[in-house]
Amino acid sequence: MIGFISEKLTGYLLKRETICQEEYEIYLFGMAQFFRKILVDATVVFLGILFGKAWEMIIFLIAFRVIRIYAGGYHAVTPFGCYLLTILMLFMVLLSLHFISWNLSILTAVWIFASVLILALAPIEVENRPIEEAERIYYKRKVRVFWILENIAILLCMVLHLRMGAESIVLAQATLGMALLCEKWIHGDVRND
Amino acid sequence: MRKGVVKMVLKKVAYHEAEKSAKIICGWFFYQPKLPNAVKKLRKF
């Protein structure tokens, strides 16, 4: 469906001579990526609203994405598989937020566990996105910068008694850590194969 | 006029997304499509 809409819109741009034939591939790819992102983001916010945890989900989404884009980790084989996995993951996050009593000990334990995984494993390349050595260094630096910024945000949330914010960011880091661990466990690092 | 604006916005958004995808490892939550050759060229390392 998204592929169809993207093809139609990119075809329209080409027909109207807004883009040229050589650029078609770039715009088609970008258009599809944009619509997929919109779909996933809308699902996150929708589920958040449905379960009365919209702010938690928005914070989770931002905290997860800023590191995920540079860290890599587990990926589904198809876009539909990704979407199903995303929904499953969001349910697990919502259940964790609802049923776990996030006292300081649990929060700290999950936080440390997630941080160790992120710092030890990221970035992990995937089959569809191999990375060169220069990129690996660049991504590692980016992951660490955003990890530090998120940790500052977690501490600020705790000081300001915004527990919900701290829980959402820690859960985002934990989910990312698990995605990295899964990729390493299932496929290994493509570079080292 | 309005159609022109829509076309320009679509063009800008699509290019921006393609360029961003070339610079990152994962575009969304759990899927990363293979980058087309034209998009790979947008990588600046």
In order along its 193 residues, chain A shows pLDDT tens digits of: 888 888 888 888 888 777 888 888 899 999 998 998 898 899 999 999 999 999 999 999 999 999 999 998 887 788 788 888 889 999 999 999 888 888 999 999 999 999 999 999 989 887 778 888 888 999 999 999 999 999 999 999 999 999 999 999 999 999 999 999 988 888 775 544 4
Are A17 and B5 within 8 A, CB to CB?
no
Q: Does B44 contact chain A (CB < 8 Å)?
A: no
Q: Does B6 contact chain A (CB < 8 Å)?
A: no
B15's tokens? 């290019």
Q: Indicate the number of domains in chain A.
A: 2
Q: Does B37 contact chain A (CB < 8 Å)?
A: yes
A27's tokens? 């715009």
Query: How many residues in total does chain A contain?
Result: 193
Same structural domain, A156 and A62: yes
Peptide linkage before A123 cis (omega within 30 of 0):
yes
Same structural domain, A180 and A86: yes
Same structural domain, A68 and A120: yes
Give the range of the structural domain holding residue A151, as residue numbers without chain letter.
Answer: 53-192
- Are the Cβ atoms of B29 and A85 closer than 8 angstroms? yes
Same structural domain, A43 and A115: no
Residue A69 burial (C-beta neighbours within 10 Å; 0-12, 13-18, 19+) = buried
Closest CA to A135 of A148, A121, A125, A146: A125
